[in-house]
A and B are shown apart, each in its own frame.
Chain A
Amino acid sequence: MRFFDFFRRARQDIPSADTAKQRLQVILAYERGSTKGSGPDCLPLVQKEIIQVIRKYFEIDESKVTVDFERGDGISMLEVNIELPNLAGGAGRPAA
């Protein structure tokens, strides 16, 4: 069994301490940058206000709106998904 251990150790995985360091650098860069009103703390408000705007033009089901936030190495992404009602017939036809 010792024989196989030798080969396994030769294909060394990334040392876990390096992963720890990378993860910390990403998450702390983000958390330090967060000031009042930015970052995921304001997401519920963002969602609420987006719904208000869309409601002015479309009838939407609030439960069909999702807001997602993903932070990465150099870039963060805000993803908003809104399911609109069936628009078949009548809507959006240009004036003659």
Chain B
Amino acid sequence: MSKVIVVTSGKGGVGKTTSSAAIATGLALRGKKTVVIDFDVGLRNLDLIMGVERRVVFDFINVINDGIRLNQALIKDKRVENLYILPTSQTRDKEALNKEGVEKVVEELRKEFDYVICDSPAGIEKGAHMALYFADEAIVVTNPEVSSVRDSDRILGILNSRSRRAERGEAPVRQHLLLTRYDTERVAKGEMLKLEDVLEILAIPVLGVIPQDDTVLQCSNIGVPVILDDRSMAGQAYKDAVGRLLGETIELRFVSPPRRGFMHWLLRRSA
């Protein structure tokens, strides 16, 4: 039974595309046939983060509107088996999307893939709505920061009222919190909302906590999903998140400041 999972947030710039790329790659590494779709029509970025920007010929919009076949637009990832990317148009905008067209593509992808990951744009307008409409599950990406939490709350409201499942009265979209850019030292100082605070406010189960990590930028620079970087803490955290998505019980890492040795303490004090 295939699953359609939307990666959404409301707020922009919190890590949806980074997370979509990492999670889709992670699922494929676990042997699941996975496709990740870019819904940010006009401002495409998934292709860049996945490192396939030079291989985009046909896109999602061509399939919906211009009679291009799905397999002409799908890009097979060269590094990871079972992983495919459906890029979107850079020249059109969200008005090019329509429900019937998106539904047709999603249903066709459901037949071929175990997991269909929808990388949503920011906002609550057409693009974001199309991305979440057909979802079975939702990963709500949130930064521990007031605007992001507020916008995530709004998106949760929309998932509960304006998704296809909600409109048809079916079992509700399963929701997961992915807390990104978590800085354990700032949390310890009381400067940053902690995981427990965000959980108390949004009241959905936590899929993962991704630490603030310089490797995220480095990986996007070279076009490699961060989960493929073995040194990366964020990559490790994404691996854990994928495990939990597959039903495994994995203890949360990267939620407390790391224990530093005496030398580190000494060096920090002498500034």
Instruction: Determine whether the beta carbon of A25 is less than 8 Å from that of B201.
Output: yes
Which residues B151-199 have CB closer than 8 A to chain A? 153-154, 157, 187, 189-194, 197
Instruction: Determine whether the beta carbon of B146 is less than 8 Å from that of A23.
Output: yes
Query: Of all chain B residues, which has the CB nearest A25?
Result: B201
Candidates B150, B154, B157, B197; contact of A21 at CB < 8 Å: B197
Instruction: Determine whether the beta carbon of B192 is less than 8 Å from that of A27.
Output: no
* B75 touches A (CB below 8 Å): no
A-B contact count (CB 8 A): 37
Which residues A2-21 have CB closer than 8 A to chain B? 15-18, 20-21
Mask of B119-149 contacts with A, CB within 8 angstroms, 1/0? 0000000000000000000000000011001
* A32 touches B (CB below 8 Å): yes
User: Shortest beta-carbon distance, A2 to chain B, in Å?
Assistant: 10
Provide 23 A-B residue pairs closer than 8 Å at the C-beta atoms, listed in order of the A residue.
A15-B189, A16-B190, A16-B191, A17-B191, A17-B192, A17-B193, A18-B190, A20-B146, A20-B193, A20-B197, A21-B193, A21-B197, A21-B200, A23-B146, A24-B146, A24-B149, A24-B201, A25-B201, A28-B153, A28-B201, A31-B150, A31-B153, A32-B153
Instruction: Determine whether the beta carbon of B190 is less than 8 Å from that of A15.
Output: yes
Which range holds the interface residue count of chain B?
A: 10 to 19
In the assembled complex, which residues on chain A have CB atoms less than 8 Å from the CB atom of B193? 17, 20-21
In the assembled complex, which residues on chain B have CB atoms less than 8 Å from the CB atom of A15? 189-191
Interface centre among A24, A25, A31 (most CB of B within 10 A): A24
Mask of A38-62 contacts with B, CB within 8 angstroms, 1/0? 0000000000000000000000000
Q: How far is the CA of A32 from the CA of B160 in the complex (A)?
A: 12
Q: How far is the CA of A34 from the CA of B25 in the complex (A)?
A: 40
In the assembled complex, which residues on chain A have CB atoms less than 8 Å from the CB atom of B201? 21, 24-25, 28
Instruction: Determine whether the beta carbon of A17 is less than 8 Å from that of B153.
Output: no
